[in-house]
Structure 1
């Protein structure tokens, strides 16, 4: 299967959305051809995965108590109606917990694995001609900027999560429309978070990369939602994270009008192979 054809430029919002999702497949194709990078890329995601799996398991364990805590108004209701209200509250809590957890997992994993993911991102770009006008990115200043930007994105996701949590109480809508909106919101934040490294190499900060991704929002959403859904699969975040970093390098290049076309088997002349 020629995965490069999936990510070629197309027109129409739906087509661009699917093309963005195809960038994750293409990133996966690049990543699995790099055995050395595969191991390095999984280690930080595995560390974060253990931490966040434990945190989410704790949330599941206490979800009944939390549901009762946020629905004191239901204490005097009949048993069936009270139970239904608290089941809906529990689902809403787990949904928002999953949304925030995925975004926080990504931020923490990118910090833990910064040297590894930076190398993956750089090698993907080298394959397609390198980073035009690259700037020097010292480790500690880069880490501080990454922490600050990640904190801003997580805080914003919490602000968005509150109205989604409230909307989760609406019968039917809260269990159908709200999860779709949550995936779209989570996907957008993931796309903005994951393209951080290639934009930093070009001297661009969070406001710039957000503005550039907005110029082709369907493509960014397609990529981000695909990553978000993969992260919801057990162990999906651990296994997909490095491929998401590779796909994000392709998304950054496309958003900036730079080439991502070329053979998967060999890099351009004069650049090192993506073989770890």
Structure 2
């Protein structure tokens, strides 16, 4: 077992960690953009999944007023019921956006696994050697991807409900919900984007990856929050996947060395 004191010392300070994580994204962009063929291949999976998730987001936006009414039956007859339901409707759209970004990421990475694995492997080879763990068999890898997607859904749905409730706090709810969305989304995106390089190091389970990020949570959030925000922008998100894959590999290398 590792020494908790040594681990604590290894963690960066909040500002330093956040800036270092953002720096990894910039470095990852430079590495991928110099490999145009890989960058182009990395755009194919999000092109396929973007259409589906844009339709889902548009549907959530269209249905949000009805969902707001369904969520607030107790407010019927209140003087400010229309304003309350307008706020709830906006929160439903915002939380739906957070959940769809996370599911969009997990689905795109699963669909484009061979392409993103190749990008990650090239970045690993460029950055230096590492101790590679034996590959999973095909069936086991497919099962792992399926169970991971289920775990992402199982965690994201209650978290989204919690963020929705936080948003209803008078005065400060909107700000707190936005911060909670960015932090939760950033952490979850980081878990996704470190999957390939962590798996090559034998760190395959959801819990094991969480422990890896916990070695330096500010560094992980410095990477994950900007990636999550960029993935929230429909057109920009197409360009982010290959860049985040490269940056996630650099992040994994740094954390695994702790």
Tell whether the structures are fold-level matches, with TM greater than 0.5: yes
Q: 1:134: how far off? A: 3.2
Aligned partner of 1:90 in structure 2 is 89
Aligned to 1:34: 35
Determine helix, strand or coil for the equivalent of 1:62: helix
CA apart distance, 1:196: 0.7
Deviation, 1:143, is 2.4
Between the aligned partners of 2:214 and 2:145, the Cα distance in structure 1 is 20
Q: Note the alpha carbon deviations across 1:142-185, whole angstroms, 9 max, x for none.
A: 22212212321221121222121111111222211111111101
Q: Does the CA contact (< 8 Å) of 1:17 and 1:218 recur in 2?
A: yes
The aligned counterpart of 2:13 is 12
Residue in 1 that maps onto 2:116: 117
* 1:1-276 map, 5 Å: 11-78=12-79, 81-205=80-204, 206-257=206-257
CA distance in 1, matches of 2:129, 2:102: 28
Measured after TM superposition, the shift of residue 90 of structure 1 is 0.9
The Cα offsets for residues 111-144 of structure 1, whole Å up to 9 and x where unpaired, read as: 1101100100101101012432332233332222
CA distance in 2, matches of 1:199, 1:10: 19
Cα distance, 1:11 vs structure 2: 4.1
The range that moved more, 84-93 or 136-145, is 136-145
Q: Which moved more, 1:134-143 or 1:119-128?
A: 134-143
What is the CA–CA distance in structure 2 between the aligned matches of 1:247 and 1:236, rounded to whole Å?
16
CA distance in 1, matches of 2:139, 2:40: 24
Q: CA deviation at 1:97?
A: 0.5
Determine if contact 2:11/2:216 at 8 Å carries over to the other structure: no
Q: TM-score, normalised by structure 1?
A: 0.85
Alpha-carbon contact 2:11-2:215 (below 8 Å) kept:
no
Structure with more helix by fraction: 2
State the aligned residue count. 248
RMSD after superposition: 1.6
* Closer/same/farther in 2, CA of residues 232 and 133 from structure 1, 3 Å limit: closer
Asked whether the equivalents of residues 12 and 219 of structure 2 are also in contact (C-alpha less than 8 Å), the reply is: no
Asked if the contact 2:166–2:176 (Cα under 8 Å) also holds between the matched residues in 1, the reply is: no
SS in 1 for 2:234: coil
Shift in CA distance, 139/123, structure 1 to aligned 2, threshold 3 Å: farther
Query: C-alpha displacement at 1:10, in angstroms?
Result: 9.1
Distance 2:179 2:159 in 1: 14
Name 1:264's counterpart in structure 2. Answer: none
Contact 1:122–1:130 (Cα < 8 Å) also in 2: no
